[in-house]
Structure 1
Amino acid sequence: MGVVGESVFHRMRNVLNSIHVSAGLINHRLREFHVADVGRIADMLEAHSHEYGWYLTQDPKGKKIPHFLGQLSEELAHHHLDTLTELTTLNYHLEQLEYFLTVGQTPLRVGGFKDTIQFATIMDEALASHQAELNRMGVQVCREYQMVGEGILEVSKLLRIVVNLVRNAINGMRNITDRSHRLTLYVLPCPDREGFVRLQVADTGIGIPLDCLTRVFSPQAPGEPSDLLPNLHASAIAAKELAGSLRVWSDGPMQGAIFTLDLPVIHMEGKR
């Protein structure tokens, strides 16, 4: 096998490994869907179809149903979003595998599995997977997109970063119900680095204490929900792998936060 053939084989093997990981995660998450609970609630309601009012307001078990349905709805929405995100990644890896099988050569672009992208489109795709939840929360969504050139980057890696940032913003606003909220997405040329683009996600959520800003992306970042730590930590690592940087700023607790992702418009492997 020649050098090119070995490279193609190595890349195909990596893609297959990624496909197996994504498929395993999707399978695991689907098994966590509490679909059976929906059936049990339906059976309970059917058994008391002649006395809904009394059952839901007076019966010890029936009174728990509305609250349980609310919790179940949030949990199903969370799992649904995670599954959609993983399906996006899986679809991208399948497209890469199809490319190798049909063309039989490595991509012409330098580096890993890259594609030509519109940065505004990436932001919109990340937002779309959260739109239903944002609508339920009544969050105003603002887009501030300036004209920037197309980029050549690893689509799945960039999309994961932005999805994580949008999800983090939503979680930061979810439990603050005494005011309206706004989520703002920015795309603009990086003002201090030629050839770089700046993507920003700003929210009006719980904010971050000033003394914690430097630790937000660490595995044990203080003041953050535990289920977000791996995502923020992994996002910072992914940004470095794309030869970019990820940072955050907040004026303090209850002041919201803004995450800033600076990336080269064209990511050349080995350039840092």
Structure 2
Amino acid sequence: MLFRDNQQQPIATNIRIILMAGILVSCMLVATIGIITWYALQNVNHQVENLVNETATKSNLIYEMRIAARERNLHLAMSLLVDDPFLIDEEWMKFKEQGTLFLIAREKFKSQNPGKTESLLLQKQRELSKHAVKLQYELNDLRLSGNYIKAIEVLHEEISIQVKVFSVLDEILAIHEKNNKLIINKLFSSQEKTQKAIALLIISIFSIIYLTSTFLIKRLSIQAEEIKNEGIKYKALIEGSMDGILVLDKKSIIDCNNNALRLFGVDSLTELNRIGLDYFSQFSEEKSAIKSDGIFNAINHALVNNKKRYEWVFKKANNDTFPSDIELQGIELNENNYVQMIIRDITERERIKKALQDANENLENKVKERTDELTKTNQKMLGLAHSAGMSEVASGVLHNVGNVLNSVNVSSSIIKNRALNSRARNLNKVIDILHKNKGNIDDFLKNDEAGKLVIPFLEQLSEKITREQEDQIQEINSLTNNVDHIKNIISMQQSYAGNIGVIEKIKTGDIANDAIDINLSSINNSGINLSKYYDTDYEISIDKHKLIQILVNLISNAKHAVMNGGKSDKNIILGIKKHNNNIIFFVEDNGIGIDEKDIEHVFEFGFKKRVEGHGYGLHHSAISAKELGGTLTVDSDGMNKGATFTLTIPIEQK
């Protein structure tokens, strides 16, 4: 890198001379050790190779004899067990083949110059094999004459002799192994002198290295400490920076850190220079520095008298663009003038800034629009209900609208509170701090304890603001869905004036999830645990708006029941199951429960136990269930023991 002190050059030259002298002497000694070691290893390798080859050959031949003897006995025994003459002849021929293989392996072993003891054991094996062969042919004659009992007796005798043959072969292997150990011990003892010579040379090399190192350490300890500190500072300031740092002359990029390569989407400094900053800065459309005039670098050189700062939009290698803050600083290295350029990607900062502006501008308008729309919808619904003369139905519709409006109010309050308490306000504090230190922003961010926290704080703030936006969008979507449901309730109310309800095919799970979503905001804010148990997800043909009104009403009543129950664990279960040709929806809670004497009055018009209740929600739901061809029932074990409402709907509407 260019970040190097010129005063270190004479010291570096002395270091190179001393090191080269030490390395030269060390290399000569290492070469001597290498030659001696090579010759010693060659000798050992040659002897070991001969020993391995001889050992492998003899061992293989002994095992070949063992295998041949074993296979020969096996085929001899098989000739007594089979009845087919052809198979008997085949086993006898295999018996002879294995005998031939045994003799071939034995003769090869003899050609390997066995020792005196091995030769005596081979002779012993030969005498045993002669006796065994005699018994083998005697066994064959007995088999041919049909005397199998006598043949089996002879086979037993022959096998006992073969066991002795195997024992002789094992003795040969043991002797062979013993001889190998003796040879290896001789090889190890012959290497002691060579090892001593090599050890002496190694000690000499370490002595030279020690003396050279001691001299260098005494002379260069202070300079080494300075170089170490400079390396640490370089790594912390240059490679540890989240910004791209480049060093420019008037035509090209002299050096850069890894973050600069990442910003422009290239893999190396060579590739960065091959394309050229004129292309990345959009001064030139030519993706080649050869065809570019280096205007961008020249302009930056002309700008720098003191530290300069400006904003720019760069293009990456893949043609994507990104806005950035640029800081220029003139530097002098080896009597040459360069420009240090620090590039900071401000894409995320600009995105957050724009998102905050858009959110602040649009949120208030959207809430006002939804509020006005709800007011008009409510007025329209009241007018339709009164004009149709259906006060009872209108009361039920108003109750259902009230349930949805509760969720709307909760969503509106959440959006308002999040807007008022948005962490985006903290961005102004950071901007004020940066403005106060804009004259020394680089030093402030790198060295000041508060400045070091700015970039991590902005990253965390960006994540939190992004999550705030996602939550606000979710609540706005919920608000929109609730308004749409109110519109659907009004459409259904209009049908009571003479239009027949529209029958649609729907999934039971989808309609149940919609009913949960309408109550979700108020349920979540009340610390209630709502569980789903969908035993089936059937497709039914039904007036979905009537069905969802019933489910919304049942979930809302369950919510109030668990809130008034006084229990720490507030649980509601919405379930779906199929029985015969009916779909059964049930809403179970562990709330305040229903007194036995009140069970039969629950669905009566005007009946209520809750002070803020109206007394017509469950009544209207029961009427709607009947209109759908089904029934709505309730079950409770008494006060403080919860309740279960069950809606039974036929799969096919009549």
SS at match of 2:640: coil
Structure 1 residue aligned with 2:381: 21
> What residue is the counterpart of 2:126 in the other structure?
none
1:145-188 CA deviation, whole Å, 9 max, x = no partner? Answer: 01242010001100000000000001111233442111101100
Aligned counterparts, 1:26-37, within 5 A: none
Matches within 5 A, 1:144-163: 144-163=533-552
**With structure 1 as the length reference, what TM-score do the two structures score?**
0.60
Q: Secondary structure at the match of 1:197?
A: strand
Q: How big is the shift at 1:93?
A: 6.7
Gaps of 5+ in 1: 1-17, 43-80, 98-105
CA distance in structure 1 between the partners assigned to 2:482 and 2:596 by the alignment = 31
SS at match of 1:188: strand
Structure 2: which amino acid aligns with 1:141?
L
- The Cα of 1:137 is off from its aligned counterpart by 1.7
**Which amino acid is 1:244 matched to?**
G
- Offset at 1:88? 0.7
- Give distance in 2, aligned partners of 1:114 and 1:140: 33
1:200-219 CA distances to partner (integer Å, 9 max, x unpaired)? 00111110001111110001
Q: Secondary structure of the residue that 1:128 maps to in structure 2?
A: helix
Structure 1 residue 173 corresponds to structure 2 residue 533 = no
Tell me which residue corresponds to 2:607: 221
Tell me how far apart the structure 1 counterparts of residues 574 and 595 of structure 2 sit (CA, whole Å).
Answer: 22
What is the SS of the residue equivalent to 1:183?
Answer: strand
Structure 1 residue 184 corresponds to structure 2 residue 573: yes
Asked if the contact 2:608/2:615 (under 8 Å) is kept, the reply is no
Partner of 1:128: 517
Contact 1:247 1:259 in 2 (8 A): yes
Distance 1:21 1:237 in 2: 19
Change (3 A) 1:248 1:182: same
How many Å separate the matches in 1 of 2:480 and 2:616?
A: 17
CA distance change for structure 1 residues 86 and 224 in 2, over 3 Å: closer, same or farther?
farther
Task: For residue 127 of structure 1, report the CA deviation from its aligned partner.
Answer: 0.7
Between structure 1 and structure 2, the one with the greater Rg is: 2
Deviations 1:23-71 (A, max 9, x none): 8767xx79xx8x9xx9xxx9xxxxxxxxxxxxxxxxxxxxxxxxxxxxx
1:121 alignment partner AA: D
Q: CA separation in 2, counterparts of 1:161 and 1:188?
A: 17
Between the aligned partners of 2:535 and 2:382, the Cα distance in structure 1 is 34
Distance 2:564 2:596 in 1: 21
For the pair 1:246 / 2:632, whether they are aligned, the reply is yes
TM-score normalised by length of structure 2 = 0.26
**1:72-102: per-residue Cα shift (whole Å, max 9, x none)?**
xxxxxxxxx999656414247769x9xxxxx
Structure 1 residues 259 and 145, CA, compared in 2 at 3 Å: closer, same or farther?
same
How many Å separate the matches in 2 of 1:234 and 1:82? Answer: 25
CA distance in 2, matches of 1:178, 1:228: 25
**Using the alignment, how far apart are the partners of 2:617 and 2:482 within structure 1?**
13
Asked if 1:262 corresponds to 2:641, the answer is no
Which runs of 5 or more residues in structure 2 are unaligned? Answer: 1-377, 385-397, 421-477
Residue 139 of structure 1 aligns with an amino acid whose one-letter code is: I
Q: Distance in 1 between matches of 2:628 and 2:570?
A: 31
- 1:263 Cα deviation after fit: 0.3
What is the one-letter code of the residue matched to 1:238?
Answer: S
Q: 1:94 to 1:232 in 2, by over 3 A?
A: closer
For residue 485 of structure 2, the aligned residue among 74, 78, 88 is: 88
CA distance in 2, matches of 1:86, 1:23: 18
In the alignment, which residue of structure 2 is the partner of 1:62? none
1:93 and 1:221 map into 2 onto residues whose CA distance is: 25
Give the conservation status (yes or no) of the 8 Å contact 1:182–1:204: yes
Amino acid at match of 1:88: H
Q: What SS is found at the alignment partner of 1:120?
A: helix
Taking a change above 3 Å as real, the CA distance of residues 178 and 195 of structure 1, as seen in their structure-2 partners, is: closer
Q: 1:232 matched to which residue of 2?
A: 618
Provide the C-alpha distance between the structure 2 equivalents of 1:178 and 1:203, rounded to a whole number of angstroms: 11
Quick one: distance in 1 between partners of 2:558 and 2:599?
15
| Cα displacement string for residues 210-236 of structure 1 (whole angstroms, at most 9, x for unaligned residues) | 111111000132534452421110000
Report the Cα offset of residue 115 of structure 1. Answer: 0.8
Pairwise CA distance, 1:133: 1.6
Structure 1: which amino acid aligns with 2:503?
K
Preserved contact between residue 184 and residue 203 of structure 1 (Cα < 8 Å): yes
Q: Contact 1:208–1:223 (CA<8 Å) still a contact in 2?
A: no
Distance in 2 separating the partners of 1:92 and 1:236: 17
The CA RMSD over aligned residues, in Å, is 3.7
* SS at structure 2 position matched to 1:220: coil
Query: Is residue 2:575 matched to residue 1:195?
Result: no
User: CA separation of 1:82/1:160 partners in 2, compared to 1, >3 Å: closer, same or farther?
Assistant: farther
Greater fraction of residues in helix: 2
**Which residue in 1 is equivalent to 2:532?**
143
Q: Which structure carries more relative contact order (alpha carbon 8 Å, separation 6+)?
A: 1
Aligned partner letter, 2:593: G
* Pair 1:212 & 2:629 matched: no
Find the residue that maps to 2:649 and give its secondary structure: strand
| SS at structure 2 position matched to 1:219 | coil
* Secondary structure, counterpart of 1:157 in structure 2: helix
